[in-house]
Structures are given as structure tokens and as C-alpha cells.
Chains A and B, each alone.
Chain A
């Protein structure tokens, strides 16, 4: 399409007045070398990416599969002993692995829908015609620029038995909780913190997309008497479907990988009583504390498969607009 466009409208009027020779010579020359140059520069542009992804993603994935079929010994050098699927079958007898999986699934199923809806609503509120937009945006974005380690530490202090949150609940005569040490509550404490911290990040993505929607889309609806909520539900949300796809996938991937918060919360143990033990924390413990890298790799491979399956299902559900050129 493109070369045809260039040739016909712009060059033809010139041809009649100027000499034809330079035009004729230039065209085939450029066309011939262009494919080559393009191919070469394509790979030049991609070379750092190909190197890094090759050495630190593609090879490690293959290596991870290899490790997962072996009993790996890390004394001195590395020793491998092929044990087939034993690392995988071991998962079913590993009660901690099942707990970690249950905790992680619960975490994903609660955090992702809540943070996505919250992000969308906040973005819609910010995008309406209000004053102080920038001030709100700056404040909302504070948790996103702050390190998760810092946020976790601040929340741990607020969650203290006689910390800020319990004092506030007491002040309102509401029941107080042992946010850090009660096995029934600890994971929920992390959920609250995580939703609070990540919703604004997705809000910024939504907000950017909302500002892409031209006013003319809304004008007809305004003339027809649609209110703010109707416009939001019938115009904004459907237009934002590809963005929602992106936000949900990013959210699922992020929550499946929960590690920092539960590590810092529990000092690396996943306690109290395994209640904050996530799949990634378990993988970390097996790989770098017990040095059982074969089994840890098998767990990591299982995690990768779960995430990929979820992603593919979501892609089917939300359509594939993003994948087309």
C-alpha cells in the first residue's frame, strides 16, 4: 500500500515537467536496497532485546524445565540427578504448596476485581469536569511512586495491635483486629494494603485512555439527555475494553507474583501459621533457603502455566484488539 501511495499522487505531476531519468533510476534502487536495509536495521534495533531475553529469559525457561526434572545438588559445583516427574508429583503431597496455592488464588480473586473497579471509578471521577484535578492526581499517585518495602513497613506499623488503625476503630467503637498476627486476618491485611497501593497505578492508565476518547463521542449522548452514569456505562466502559484487558492481565500477573509484602510482613516465613504464604514466597524458600532448586523450579513452572492459562482465557474473553497491527 505505502509505496503505491507515494508513487502515484506525488510524483506523477512532476514527471511531465522534469526529466524522467532521476525518478526512474531512484525508484528501483531504493526498493531493492530497502528490504535489505530494513531487515538489517530491524535486527540492529532488536539486538539488545534479543540478547537479554535470550540469555535471561529463553535459556532460563528451558533450563527451568531441565531443573524441574532433576534432583539438583548445590554443594561445590552443581550436580543433577534425573528423577522424571517426581518434583511435580511431590507438589500434591506438599501441604504447604497447597496452602500457598489456596492463599494466592484467594488473593487474586479478591484483589484484581476490586482494584480494577476502583481504578476505573477513580479515573472516571477524575476525568469529569472538576476542579483540583492535578492535586487529586498527585496525591492518588503517591503509593505508586513509593517503594513496596516502605509501604509494607508503614502499614505494619499502622496495623500494630495498638497502632493507628486499631485506635481509629476503637474511636468509632468498631471491633479491632490483630492485623499482623491473626492467621485469619493477616492475608486480608495485605490485600487491603495492596489494593490501596496499586489501584491508583491502574487509574492513571484508565485516565490516559479516557482522555483519548474525543468529546464528539459524548456529544450525541448529551443531546439525547444521557446522564453521567449512563455515558460512563454505555460509552466509556465499552470503549475502554482493550484497556480493561490490559489492566486485568497486569493485575492478575502482579497479584499472582505477590512476594515483597508477604516476605516483609512475615519476615520471610509466610506466617502466622502459613496464612501469608504465597506461591512465590514458597518457591523462594525452597530455592534459596532449602537449596532445593529442582523442586522450586517445578513449582515455578506450575506457576508459569497457571498464569499463562489465565492470561489466555482472559484474552479470549476480552477479545484480541491489542494483538492486531
Chain B
């Protein structure tokens, strides 16, 4: 009991300090997005003295493509999440549970792919996409990213710990592997799938390098690219840049707020049960 009273304040102290350090950049960005330019230029005020929503309207009037960038990002991300969830889970399940010739080799290949930086495949992939005529298109960004070795590995680890009895019962009842997978296994894997969805959402939404290489016309930019070019054009208009940054972050925050419970559950699923 004595020892606890010593460590607890320390633990709280560490957590609170780190929480403040984490939160301040966000607060600073959001508060700045409500300040007029004059206030930004004149020096440091933490809270806006002349609160305004104008910055948000001004983004769209100054940069008509901003809406298009939003659509591009949402469309690409939704496709990536959907395809990845299904394909990574299928592969992870096969590697964990289905006995087929070449399984060890496939798993070895996944581990090798995990180690390979995607930059080594970036240039050849660019040339392959060019040969397909897929540069500067949605499929050029989506198809090469529709499976992900990291999450195949994660799903395999998840399915290794998955209770076998349920599948065995389903197979006794005459369900095929596919049937068992989609009707029995996938619904029970929901927390893991939600976790995967959040991770893939983040990696797709945050992706900067692949869109930078693949998308060349401004209409095809994702928000990350758009934001970067917006920043380049309006370099001293930090109020506008912060408003645009805030806008770009809102969807991820909404997704996170919505999935948070599933996400934590998904990550903790293996041990909780």
C-alpha cells in the first residue's frame, strides 16, 4: 500500500504532462484557424481575440479544387479500406488455418515483403503503372495498395489465437472453407476488422509519397498533396493553412471517435477473451 501512494502521483504526473504536450499543437492549430490574418501577423496570442469563421469560407473561394481533393481522398480511402479488410483477412486466415501446399512459402514471402521498403518497388511500380496507363488515375493508387503485408501478418496472428471449435462445428455441418470464413469467422472477427479499418484508413488518408509520385494533375491530388501545394501558395497565410489543416483532420477525428471503442477492443481482443 505504501509503495502505491508513492508511484501513483508520478504516474499521473507523467500522463498529464504528456497529454498537455500532445494536445497543445492541435489546440494551437485549431485556435489559429479562427484568427484573422492581422492577429496572426502581429504576434503571439494564444486564444483568438477577434474570433472569425471567415478563414474556412476563404479556403474554398481561394482554392476551388479543395472540394475535389476532399472527394479524391475520401473515395480512395473508402476503396482501400474495403478491399484491404477483405483481402488481408482472407490471406491471414489462410496462412493461419488452411493447410495448403506452399503455405510456408507464402508466409515467408509475406515476412520478406514486410522487410522490403516500398521505395525499392516504387520506381518499377511507377513504370508498370505507366505501361498499364494507370498513372494519374484512381486505380493506379488503389490496386497496388489493396493488400498490405503488415495487416496480413496481423490478421494471421489474430486467427492463430481464434477458437478452433467454432470453425470445426461449422465444417461438421458441411460449410465450405469460404462459407465458414464469411459466415462464422468474419463476423466474430469484427473487432479485429475494425482495428484494421482504422489503421488502413490512417495509412491511406495520411499517404503522401505514393500520391505524390502517381498523381500529376491538380484535379487528381489527394488532400495531403493539396494541402502541401496550398501551403506553398499561401505561405504566410497561416490562418488559412491552419483552417485547411483542421478541415483535413476532421474526418479522421470523426472516424476515430466512432471507431475508438472498436479499435481498443480490436487491439485488446486476443487477450480479453
Interface residues of A, Cβ cutoff 8 Å to B: 6, 35, 37-46, 48-50, 52-53, 55-61, 63-64, 67, 78, 121-122, 125-126, 128, 130, 136-151, 153-155, 157-158, 162-164, 167, 196, 200, 204-205, 207-209, 211-214, 227-229, 250, 253, 256-257, 259-260, 263-264, 267, 280, 283-284, 287-288, 293, 296-297, 300-301, 303-304, 307-308, 311, 322-323, 325
Contact = CB atoms under 8 A, between A and B. Distances in A.
B124 A59 contact: yes
B93 A45 contact: yes
Interface of B: 3-4, 7-8, 11-12, 14-15, 18-19, 21-26, 28-29, 32, 43-44, 83, 86-88, 90-91, 93-95, 98-103, 106, 109-111, 113-128, 143-144, 146-147, 149-150, 152, 157, 160, 168, 176-178, 181, 198, 202, 205-206, 208-209, 212-213, 223-224, 227-228, 231-232, 238, 241-242, 245, 248-249, 252-253, 255-256, 260, 264, 267-268, 270-272
A144 B123 CA distance: 28
| Chain A residues touching B, majority SS | helix
B3 A57 contact: no
A17 to B, nearest CB: 19
B177 A41 contact: yes
A140 B19 contact: yes
B124 A208 contact: no
Contacts of B115: 253, 307-308, 311
B90 to A, nearest CB: 4
Nearest to B269: A208
A52 B88 CA distance: 11
Contacts of B248: 147, 149-150
A144 to B, nearest CB: 7
B124 A147 contact: no
Contacts of B168: 6
B100 A61 contact: no
| Chain B residues touching A, majority SS | helix
Given A52-B146, A126-B15, A43 B100 contact: yes
Nearest to B205: A147
A125 B122 contact: no
Nearest to A300: B120
Contacts of B272: 211
6 tightest Cβ-Cβ pairs between the two chains A and B: A42-B100, A212-B271, A60-B124, A45-B94, A63-B124, A41-B177
A63 B127 contact: yes
16 contacts: A41-B178, A48-B90, A50-B106, A53-B109, A56-B125, A56-B128, A60-B128, A64-B124, A122-B15, A146-B26, A147-B249, A208-B267, A208-B270, A264-B228, A307-B116, A325-B160
A260 B12 CA distance: 34
Contacts of A207: 267-268
Given A49-B87, A67-B124, A158-B28, A259 B44 contact: no
| Residue of A141, A147, A323 with most chain B CB atoms under a 10 A cut-off | A147
A323 B4 CA distance: 38
A310 to B, nearest CB: 9
B124 A297 contact: yes
A261 to B, nearest CB: 9
A283 B119 contact: yes
Contacts of B209: 259-260, 263, 280, 284
Contacts of A154: 25-26, 28-29, 242, 245
A242 to B, nearest CB: 10
A288 B215 CA distance: 12
B181 A128 contact: no
Nearest to B121: A60
A131 B168 CA distance: 42
A138 B15 CA distance: 12
Given A142-B26, A148-B206, A211-B272, A229 B7 contact: yes
Given A125-B11, A130-B12, A149-B208, A42 B121 contact: no
A236 B95 CA distance: 29
Nearest to B259: A145
A276 to B, nearest CB: 15
Contact of B208 (A44, A157, A263): A263
Contact of A41 (B11, B98, B125, B253): B98
